[in-house]
Chain A
Amino acid sequence: MKDFDAIIVGTGAGGGIVACVLAEAGKRVLLLERGHALSFAEVSRDQLRNQRLAIYGHNAGPDIEANPRVFIDPLGNRRIVKPHELDYHNNAACLGGGTRVYGAQAWRFSPDDFRMASKYGVPPSSSLADWPITYEELEPYYERVEWELGVAGDGSNLQAQIPRKRDYPLPPVPPGPQSTALREGARALGWVVSPVPLLINTAPYNNRPACIECKYCVGFACPSDAKNGTQNTVIPRALASGNCELVTDAIAEKIQTDSSGNAIGISYIGQSSTVPQRQEARAKVVIISAGAIESARILLNSTSTQHQFGLGNEHDQVGRNLQGHLYPRAYGIAAASVFNGVGPGVSIATTQFNHDNDGIIGGGMLADDFIKPPIDFWYDSLPPDLPRWGLRNKQFMRDNYTRVLHVRGPVQDIPNPEGRVTVDPSVKDRWGIPVARLSGTTHEETITAAEFMRERGEEWLRASGCETVWSTRPELMLSGRQHQAGTCRMGDDPGSSVTDKWGRVHSHDNLFVVDGSLHVTNGGFNPVLTIMALAYRSADYIANSII
């Protein structure tokens, strides 16, 4: 059996970075990925089967037939769901994880996002809490992500809310007609706006070319490899060090423990031969970076006589506080075309309402959207009073595809312990491993904030010259999906958290979780930059203090 310094499960935003830091520090790393490397052609530009619109399937894993989950709706109805269904709460399963096909919005959380309970108090039945670390402690790691992976942006207008010591390494995406219209609207309202920071090369960086401004960004792979995920930045570096062995198509089964309960390695299903084979590997430290749902599933499935409820689950905390983001959305018809066909399309945002809104806990960010393929627009962006068929529908598409202004954004999710991941007692995946079962909803305070942000969206569009405006009312539902977080939250108290402030599972000195699972709260921003910054911080700690 092979012996390593570290085994990492998952190659997404968290695991990819940990692999790079440890391998470059001379540690021998085994990096396991349940999917495999996907080429641009394999990801494809199928407009009906991608991570943004997945009507019949999706383009970045996991396999639709092999990986069921169980979903329990708010009425208690239980059903088996497939990976491309909304209630599955999927994130891509391939080399790079979600970063292979994400939109790459590279927001830092703001200082107040780390102290939500202190700032707002804890609403009844929520598990709102402060992080065990501050923004100031994470700030150097945010900067490291921005410079090592490459982020395009302009932080000057964000400085008051999200202070930074060093600006972005790349200039922001150029403004288009939609950003010009929205900038005018914000000026009329007295709102502060800034370019959207993106993990996209707006100029050549790290020996890869610049963005070619195509129309297929979020949900798809980048044709010029200018979108910076872990698969084209830190993982190649880890492999180039000679210290990292990557095994793809490897399905983690459970964390192995010794007779005294310490983590000693991992068992996984390898598929290098024609018949899937159960394999084991040993290491001094085990790092789980499978995403907030799958990481919780692995811990919960890692039962033994010493840990009959799974690892780190002494206080029934693993899998709780599942959160993501609700997305209030508003649309309006602009006076003239706001479409120049230049991708990615997302370009301007306001962080005016992330905090300090009367009667609201938290708030959120609002930005314009990525270019939507017409079928995505047809499903997502039509006015509710427009017939869904006939000449009026067709002519609306003809006249207004280029004229509809759209703003949307993530709202700070107010966590509650009943939004959760457990493992299902009967349903198993293709390899016989019990699957994740999802249940609960977000907290009602999230709806209050989302409704407030929906109104701000409409207000922004009206001020930007739209006479006709409509929007989508937020519903009380489980949030998770590609922004899934919170299921192994960090904390100082083992009774109400799963890991310490380094991502180390309280009960196990050599077992870490490094991904969105750690987020105590998930900010009113896309979470990937925070996952990456935490990964650098945990990886430094592991390299310097553990192995």
Chain B
Amino acid sequence: MTELQRQTLRAALDCVIPPDDFLGAWEAGVGNYLALQFEGDLAPQMTFYLAGLDGLEAEAIARFGNHFFSLGPEDQNSILQSVESGAVNTSWTISPQKFFKLMVETAAEGYYSNPEQGGNIGEVSWTMTGFSKYGPV
């Protein structure tokens, strides 16, 4: 993963699960989760995923003349919405919708599942939802 792809990833993940009173995806370790998964179950999909990140960057350049990670949240979300629906402005080598679904689902997996898998640092999502707040361990 190039530094640019890493920055695109960080910005995109924080749109998928933004920070508010509780950590956003990146601070909660979703990047760690993905790094582990790309060495494991998701290894066959890594090239696909990176092509999707390149696609996000290309959309940002085409539409706003700037890096995806440099855009404000409104413009970033606008790009993500068009990727989600497949209405992209540039030529994609992969299906934008499939990339988007993979990005959203794996972000949720990292954010909401066991901290041992790399994400959900400090059980942030389990505290936020109440899963670990109530009842026996």
Contact = CB atoms under 8 A, between A and B. Distances in A.
A439 to B, nearest CB: 27
Interface string B101-134: 0001101110011100100000001101111111
B20 A394 contact: yes
A398 B131 CA distance: 10
Nearest to B101: A388
A56 B114 contact: no
Nearest to A56: B41
Interface string A331-346: 0000001011111000
A390 interface: yes
B113 A375 contact: yes
A46 B108 CA distance: 15
B136 interface: yes
Interface residues of B, number: 32
Interface in A355-390: 373-375, 377-379, 388-390
Interface in A274-306: none
Given A212-B136, A389-B17, A397-B125, A375 B130 contact: no
Contact of B135 (A213, A375, A377, A398): A213
A301 B132 CA distance: 48
A215 B20 CA distance: 27
B135 A215 contact: yes
B130 A402 contact: yes
A55 B135 contact: no
A45 interface: yes
B131 A341 contact: yes
B104 A388 contact: yes
Max count, chain A CB within 10 A of own CB: residue among B18, B20, B112, B132: B112
A214 interface: yes
B136 A339 contact: no
Nearest to A46: B114
A409 to B, nearest CB: 24
B50 interface: no
A401 B132 CA distance: 11
A402 B130 CA distance: 7
Contact of A341 (B22, B107, B112, B134): B134
B106 to A, nearest CB: 9
Contacts of B41: 56-57
Contacts of B107: 389
A391 interface: yes
A243 to B, nearest CB: 40
B76 to A, nearest CB: 11
B38 to A, nearest CB: 12
Contact of A395 (B20, B77, B105, B134): B20
A374 B134 contact: no
A247 interface: no
Contacts of A401: 129-131
Contacts of A339: 130, 134
A48 B105 CA distance: 12
A538 interface: no
B15 interface: yes
Interface string B70-85: 0000000100100010
A379 to B, nearest CB: 8
B16 interface: yes
16 contacts: A55-B109, A214-B136, A214-B137, A341-B130, A342-B135, A343-B136, A373-B131, A374-B113, A377-B112, A378-B112, A391-B18, A393-B17, A394-B17, A394-B20, A395-B20, A397-B128
Given A342-B134, A343-B136, A379-B105, 4 more contacts: A48-B117, A340-B135, A377-B129, A397-B128
